[in-house]
Structure 1
Amino acid sequence: MIKKYLITTFRHLRRKRLFTALNIFGLAIGISVCWVIYRIVSYEYSYDKNLVQKEKIYRVVSGFVFDEKESYNGGASKPLYQGIREQMDGLEHVVPVFENTFRSVEVDNPPGSPLRFDDQKGVAAIDSAYFNFLEYRWLSGTKSSFLDNPNSVVLTEDRAKQYFPDQAPNEILDRTITYYSYRDTITRTVAGVVANLPQPTEFNSQEFVPLPYIAYDLNIWTNTNGSDRLYLQLDEASNPAIIAEQVDDIIQRKTREWRDQSENTFNFKRWIELLPLGESHFATHIRESNIRKASKPVLYGLMGIALFLLVLACINYINMSVAGIPQRTKEIGVRKTLGSNKKQLITQFFLETLVTTVLAGILSLVLTKLVFWLLKDIIPEGITPFANILEYIGFLLLLSILVAILAGLYPGWLITRVNAINVFRSTSLQTKGSKGFNLQKALIVFQFVIALVFITSALIIGKQLQYSIKSDMGFNKDAVVLVQVPYRYVFEDKYDGKQFPLLEELKTISGIQNVSLGAAPLSEGYASSAYEYSEEGKPAISRQVFKKWVDTSYVNLYNLKVLAGRNLHESDTPTEYVINETAVKAFGFASPQEALGKFIGQKDEKLPIVGVVNDFHMRDFYESIDPMAFQMEKSNLTNFNIKLTSNTDQWQNTLSEIEQKWYRFYPPESFSYTFYDESIEQMYKQERQLATLVNLATFVSIFISCLGLFGLAVLTAFQRTKEIGIRKVMGASVEGIVRLLSKEYIVLVIIALVFASPIAWFAMDKWLEKFAYRIQIEWWMFLLAGVAAITIALLTVGYQAIKAAIANPVKSLRTE
């Protein structure tokens, strides 16, 4: 019986090759997108899934309020782990992980020269709790040999292969590694090698050095560094809320002691929270450079996109299948006459759907590779298209059954309504005006609702991204090239101060309009401090102020406007400030002129304000403009800002000249430049990724919707064949018939636009809320999306409408 069903199925699919191809392709797109998103979501939710008692592990994170702005830091004060161990119960493990970055690392390599690795990261200072907390598998060495030697180091398997290629773990024991930091040098011996932790994991350190016990000064309790992480594993009876209160109490007591001792008047709020390890990977409100984050709302959005595209593919299959039913009425009538019951007819149709879905799944193997390539900037590193082929097969089978049920239920039920007697009376399945046909129109409307939401979202996201990059930022970024002295050379004696003679050399190049040393106006890295202004008889005003070290050419190079006073004077150490407009208001000055001559700073280190410049964006458009102060300190001037002339044809030669002069002062490998406008665009990488994803979803949703619309057009043209023939005989023009057949599709798209507009507005308004500086959602965006959808719909059905309009009316009216 199954064999006969399969033979009939393949015969039908072969006979209707066009519809079969469209169905397979539409379903394949939906399946491949679902698989790719499944891979991404399952990867993100698998962080540290193999960790024992994961639900009892928490990260200590620090919350702050500066100038009424709340922020979080993923680190904790270095001494906090000591206070917790000494003063608290209810904890299985208290685990400090203090990350270090080194200027360079040298590995002994007898009999050759030592191997050198610059800017090496992933080196963590730990104590005995770490290896009790995480169950590493030791490939060589022991935990005790590591902890007994303060100058030892343990490497992960990957780092060992990097330092000692082609050597077994036991062969590298007692080999030496020299670490060059920015202030000292230490040589360590390899005490062990541990296997890599199962990926993905938050515990990404690659080298481990012993953490010495230090009696920290009181002021260190008030410092927080995001690279100093602290983990707590609670015992079974402990309450996380109570533990968090106790940890916070330790910090608050130490902060009060520090305030009393230092007589500090800066007003800020600080507290401690316990973050469950399972939520750490998704804590995007905590900005961390050394730990990758994932956004749950983004993942939910991805899952929503997958669901919608799969539903669109199913709707497309339903519409295409219903479009083909009128042409199968004779087949169905014959089968019923020969004794087929409803169950057999539905089984036949379900088998056709299942076979079509399986074939689509096979095609999706190829499309999945394409989707991975298109989303290569979005898909996290470490995710492969098919890590486990059995997982994919299981996913495909489950999805095939689900799609077969969703896509085959309604058409399968519809074919059972065919009346065999009517078939042989030369009538067909009449669905026009029936609930079935109304449902089909509703499905088309639903498809275009989704497509219009994506179209509108793509327009708004693109407009906001353009606004963030192209709008006036308060400075001129055009034709500016950034070159940074690598940090590893800043503290080397032989390179000390070499940026200044290099600066004079660069000024002699004809293709350079201006050159300055200083931190770029808008950049990802920044520093801030609490500055105070006090006036006799009034309470002191404390504000968090962002600091930028610049030279005297900086203001002119970026075309900043001096609103009052003057520019900075050249100085080896800070002697004065130039502040922005926001700082003027923050310290309560009535005007820029009033701020001149006033002293701001910290305690007895206050300096005069000599100038005020216009506000400019120092961070991305998610953040508002904050108080800022320029100051000059030569030791902090390590970034070159080079303004090229307007002659773009000369730029390449100018860059070559810059490179040649650079080599006279610094090693060749240290030279690297970026155009400033490109680096600003890079800051919006996440937004560009979102735009790429939405654009792809828009294309797929439109494509699938058009397939469904094509099926509806075929059905309508078939049902109205005789009507069209009569109209032509009565004198109707081709243009009039095309307009007649097309107008109902325009109505469907307009209905979809009515439903899609509020959905798109709500979703995009929520997304734009995160930006301190944003575009306004305007009516023309929805109109443009509607016009685009109507145009696409008319192009889709136009061919079928024209084909029906130019058909020979004699054939249309011929008695069957």
Structure 2
Amino acid sequence: MIYNYFKIALRNLWKNKVFTFLNILGLSVAFCVATLLSIASLNNLAEDQFHTNKDNLYKVYATEQTSKGPEEVSSRSTPFAPTLKDEVPGIKKITRHLEENVVVSYEDKELQLDVSYIDPDFFEMFSFPVIKGENTSPLSQKSSVALTQETAKLLFGNEDVIGKTILLQGQDAKEPFIISAILKDIPKESSMGFDLLVAYENNAYYKQTLDDWSSRFHSVYLQLDEGVTTQQFEERTRAFVAQYYRENIENAIRDGVQKDANGQYYQLRLFPYVDSVFTKFKGGIAKTSRIMPYLILCIAILILFIASVNFINMNVAKGGQRLREIGMRKTLGATKSQLFIQLWVESLFVFSISIILGLLLGYALLNDFQTLFRTSGTFGTLLSPEILSLFVIAIILITLIAGGYPALLLSKLGTLKALKGKMEARDSNRLRNTLIVIQFSIAILLISGTLVLNKQIDFLRHKDLGFDKSNVISIPLNGSLDSYTALSRLRNELQSEPEILSITAADNNLGSGRDGSGYMSISGFDYEGRSIKTHNLTVDYDYIETLNLELVAGRSFDRQFATDSLAMVINETMAKEYGKENPLDVVVSFDDSIRYKVIGVVKDYNFQGLKKEVEPLTFYLDPNVGYYYAFAKINPDKAVGAYDKIEKAWNKIEPEATFLGSFLDENIDRTLRREKVLTKIITSGSIVAILLSCIGLFAISMIVVNQRTKEIGVRKIVGASVPGLVKLLLSDFLKLVVLAFVIATPIAWWMSSKWLEDYSYKITLNLGVFIIAGLIAIIIAMLTIGYKTMHAALQNPVKSLRTE
């Protein structure tokens, strides 16, 4: 019996080769795209899920009430973590975490590596297993260091590395460390990355900040005792805050700041570590959103839905031509269940072939997909029991709904109606039209999203940021030389080159450089009886000129003025904070002996990126703070030659350090990486959705035109024109696309508005974007069905009637 079902199924599928091909093509493409998108989404959702203690790991932050509203404070001070654990009950484990790029040397090798300074509890909290060496406490000795497998191979090749000594560049000299353990390579799903782990006490700031609660520069993670909630933790820390943050609270009271809902001025809080990559801060509170991976998953589901809709529509429409076959089977004794199974087996056969072809195509395209969409996901992402179970259930449901519905609809027809070849057209047409409207609503929604995303990214890329981003190269000072020596030698090497116009330096980058590092320096102080906060930037001479920042008052730092070591240049937003009519009158005392004077004001520029409004910023010349980046302004007509000469000079002064120079416009583009990936995914989804919708529309138009062959012939005989017939055949379908536009536009507008809320600088939505999306859908629909309708309208009516 089963063999007979398959034999008849193959015979019917072969008989209708065109529709079988269109079904398999649409479903294969849909399964391929849906599989790849699911891999990307699930890989993102798997971030940090490999940690054994994942459900009880948290990052500490604080919400501080200020005169501008609640603000988030993530970085902590050196004494914070040990004091918190000693005085607040409910903390099982705690670790500080400071990440820096450090030059590491072994014999003649010298590399800049990612070093994390951590506390001993780190190894028990996080699942980064030791595979060789000291297993229980890898950093029990201050001079111990733990390496990942990849780092060990990079430094030592295949040698046994346990017990060997490497040198880490300190502030003044290279310091020796003994390798005590090798860690398993960090999973790709980890949001935390490092090459080496070193005891926290070895960081350059440790001794000078040992008892300093005001200097905050690292993160703190903790693990709560079983049964302790985050709310209980927050309540238990209030006495701790009252004692160690008394000055912050007193300043808030003095400045008339409003308390939060719980009557607090400064509240310690936690958010789950597994939410790290999905967390943003709004109003000083951590907000977790997994919209992006779920959006990708939704696009995958929508594409499968469109392909399934095509399958249902084609099977129902084509099933009208099999009514006499069904009626004859019923006359010969076939039951409804037998007819259902026969028709469902045909659907299952098509789906099975499509799934296999889709998976094979997805596997073939995986490498290109990973590169294009910047994902490390593989087919292994889908191999967990939970994911496989969901995948199997989804396939069964899709085949039952997409394949079973047409089978059920056709099998329940009465014998006489089936033999007469008649079917309730009203019900089937209503279903068909509804599904076409849904299809094109989805397509228009995706097209609208693509247009809005592209427009927003184009707006951000071309926005005037207030500095010269196209003719300036940033160079990480990542070698073994101290930053002042490296900068001086770089200047000497390039001063005679006509391609190089100026060179300067600072302790932070603009945008995201090739080294991927960056940090914030924020300080708070009292000025005329009120608290002020500012971002700090230590710069070298010529920084303002090199970046072409606009001075609106005063002057820049000048080598002719020895007093500029105690001078400040501020931005316009900082000038407003001081509240002086003339900001050049501002003099600030940071302690009893040192007084800093404002000598200049620069026009506001976007030093933090494009998602934040400009905040207060102060420039200093501080010989006690090292530089991390050099900046070279180049002749725009000789950009390629200038870059090559800078790289050559760098390789001469720092032969062991990798040159990671990049243009600032590249750095800005890197900050938009997430938006670019999302745009690629939605654009790809739009293209696939439109193609699948067109396949379905083309097949339906073929069936409808064939069904109306006699009507077309009669209309031509009585005088109907070709344009009139084309309009008649097109109008029914175009009405459905227009209805889809009316339904999709408000939804697309709302979704786009919500997405744009994350940006301080954004485009203004207008109806034109959505009208363009609708027109694209209408034009594509007309082109899809235009050929077949035109061909039908041009047919000889006599031939049409004879055929009928």
TM-score (norm 2): 0.87
Residue 104 of structure 2 aligns with which residue?
Answer: 105
Q: 3-state DSSP class of the match of 1:763?
A: helix
Which structure 2 residues correspond to residues 401-800 of structure 1 after superposition, within 5 A?
Answer: 401-416=396-411, 418=413, 421=416, 428-429=422-423, 431=425, 434-478=426-470, 480-491=471-482, 496-500=484-488, 502-503=490-491, 506-512=494-500, 516-518=504-506, 522-524=510-512, 525=518, 527-530=520-523, 534=527, 539-551=528-540, 553-570=542-559, 574-590=565-581, 594-600=582-588, 602-604=590-592, 605-633=594-622, 639-647=629-637, 650-662=638-650, 665-667=653-655, 669-800=657-788
2:87 aligned residue: 87
Displacement of 1:724 after TM fit? 0.5
Q: C-alpha displacement at 1:301, in angstroms?
A: 1.3
**Farther-moved stretch of structure 1 (32-41 vs 13-22):** 32-41
**Pairing 1:246–2:257 present:** no
Relative to structure 1, the CA distance from residue 552 to residue 661 in structure 2 (aligned partners, 3 Å threshold; closer, same or farther) is same
Distance in 1 of aligned mates of 2:444 and 2:267: 45
Q: Which amino acid aligns with 1:153?
A: V
Residue 795 of structure 2: aligned partner:
807
8 Å CA contact retained: 1:95, 1:231: yes
The residue that corresponds to 1:9 in the other structure is 9
**Structure 2 CA distance for aligned equivalents of residues 661 and 26 of structure 1:** 56
Q: 1:773: Cα distance to partner?
A: 1.1
How far does the alpha carbon of each residue in 1:35-82 deviate from its partner, in whole angstroms, 9 at most, with x for none?
A: 334334443444554655543443333344566265545554332332
- Aligned length in residues: 780
The 2-side partners of 1:521 and 1:150 are apart by: 32
- Flag the 1:386–1:357 CA change in 2: closer, same or farther, 3 A: farther
- The corresponding residue for 1:334 is 328
What residue number does 2:344 align with?
A: 350
8 Å Cα contact 1:222-1:255 kept in structure 2: no
Cα 1:219/1:256, change in 2 over 3 Å: farther
Change in 2 beyond 3 A, CA 1:105/1:704 = same
Task: Select the residue among 304, 307, 310 that pairs with 2:304.
Answer: 310
Q: Counterpart of 1:487 in 2: which secondary structure? A: coil
User: Deviation of residue 125 (structure 1)?
Assistant: 3.1
Shift in Å, 1:2 = 1.0
State which of 104, 120, 123 in structure 1 corresponds to 2:113: 120
- Structure 1 Cα separation of the partners of residues 617 and 753 of structure 2: 30
CA distance in 1, matches of 2:23, 2:207: 71
Comparing 391-400 with 437-446, greater Cα deviation is found at 391-400
Q: Give 1:229's match in structure 2, choosing from 220, 226, 239.
A: 220
Q: CA deviation at 1:348?
A: 1.4
Q: Distance in 2 between matches of 1:332 and 1:315?
A: 23
Q: Give the Cα–Cα distance (whole angstroms) in 1 for the partners of residues 46 and 664 of structure 2.
A: 37
Q: Deviations over 1:321-363 (max 9, x none)?
A: 1231233233323323322232222211211111111111111
Q: Equivalents in 2 of 1:561, 1:37: separation in Å?
A: 45
Post-superposition Cα deviations, 1:718-757, rounded to whole Å, max 9, x if no partner, equal: 2211110111112222222112111222211111111111
- The one-letter amino acid of 2:345's match is L
Asked if structure 2 preserves the Cα contact closer than 8 Å seen for 1:60 and 1:232, the reply is no
Query: Residue 580 and residue 82 in structure 1: after superposition, are their counterparts in 2 closer, same or farther (change >3 A)?
Result: closer
Q: 1:516 to 1:142 in 2, by over 3 A?
A: closer
1:685 is aligned with what amino acid? R
Task: State whether residues 485 and 670 of structure 1, in contact with CA within 8 Å, keep that contact through their aligned partners in structure 2.
Answer: no
SS of equivalent residue, structure 1 residue 330: helix
Encode CA deviations 1:203-258: one digit per residue, 9 max, x unaligned.
655544456699996853333333x433123134x344223322343243112279
Amino acid in structure 2 at the alignment position of 1:43: N
Which letter does structure 1 place at the counterpart of 2:61? V
Relative to structure 1, the CA distance from residue 211 to residue 309 in structure 2 (aligned partners, 3 Å threshold; closer, same or farther) is same
Q: Which residue in the other structure is 1:275 paired with?
A: 271
User: Percent same amino acid among aligned pairs?
Assistant: 27
Q: Which is worse superposed, 637-646 or 336-345?
A: 637-646
Question: Does 2:29 match 1:43?
Answer: no
Q: Alignment partner of 2:438: what SS?
A: helix
2:472 match: secondary structure: strand
Q: Provide closer, same or farther for how the CA distance between residues 18 and 543 of structure 1 changes in structure 2, counting only shifts above 3 A.
A: farther
- Please say if residues 483 and 671 of structure 1, whose CA atoms lie closer than 8 Å, have aligned partners that are also in contact: no
Task: Tell me, yes or no, if the aligned pair for 2:133 and 2:180 is still in contact at 8 Å.
Answer: yes
Q: Distance in 1 between matches of 2:185 and 2:506?
A: 41
CA distance in 2, matches of 1:136, 1:218: 28
Q: Is the 8 A contact 1:514 1:644 kept in 2?
A: yes
CA deviation profile, 1:748-778 (whole Å, cap 9, x unmatched): 1111111111100110100001111111100
Instruction: Check conservation: 1:372, 1:379, Cα contact below 8 A.
Output: no
CA, structure 1 residues 755+100, in 2 after alignment: closer, same or farther (shift >3 Å)?
Answer: closer
Answer whether contact 2:476 2:661 (CA < 8 A) is retained. Answer: no
Inter-partner Cα distance in structure 2 for 1:601 and 1:335: 98
**Contact 1:104-1:120 at 8 Å conserved across structures:** yes
Q: Deviations over 1:147-196 (max 9, x none)?
A: 664433344545444444334xxx54332233223345432333344556
Given the superposition, is the C-alpha separation of residues 318 and 258 from structure 1 closer, same or farther in structure 2, using an over 3 Å criterion? closer
| Structure 1 position 21 matched with structure 2 position 15 | no
SS of residue paired to 1:596:
helix
Q: Secondary structure at the match of 1:523?
A: coil
SS at match of 1:574: helix
Tell me how far apart the structure 2 counterparts of residues 145 and 334 of structure 1 sit (CA, whole Å).
Answer: 80
Return the match for 1:187 from 176, 182, 191.
Answer: 176
- Residue 412 of structure 1: how far off its partner (Å): 1.6
Question: How far apart, CA to CA, are the structure 2 residues paired with 1:273 and 1:36?
Answer: 37
SS for the counterpart of 2:379 is coil
Q: Which stretches in structure 1 are left out of the alignment for 5+ residues?
A: 108-113, 287-292
Give the CA deviation at 1:477: 2.9
> 1 CA distance for matches of 2:756 and 2:250?
44
Deviations 1:90-123 (A, max 9, x none): 44x223143453622234xxxxxx2635222244
Q: Which amino acid aligns with 2:17?
A: R
In 2, are the aligned partners of 1:578 and 1:610 still within 8 Å (CA)? yes
Structure 2 gaps of 5+ residues are 259-264, 513-517
- Counterpart of 1:222, as a letter, is S
Tell me the secondary structure at the aligned position of residue 237 of structure 2.
helix
When structure 1 is superposed on structure 2, of 400-409 and 543-552 the one drifting more is 543-552
Aligned to 2:377: 383
Q: Cα distance 1:449–1:361, how it changes in 2: closer, same or farther (>3 A)?
A: same
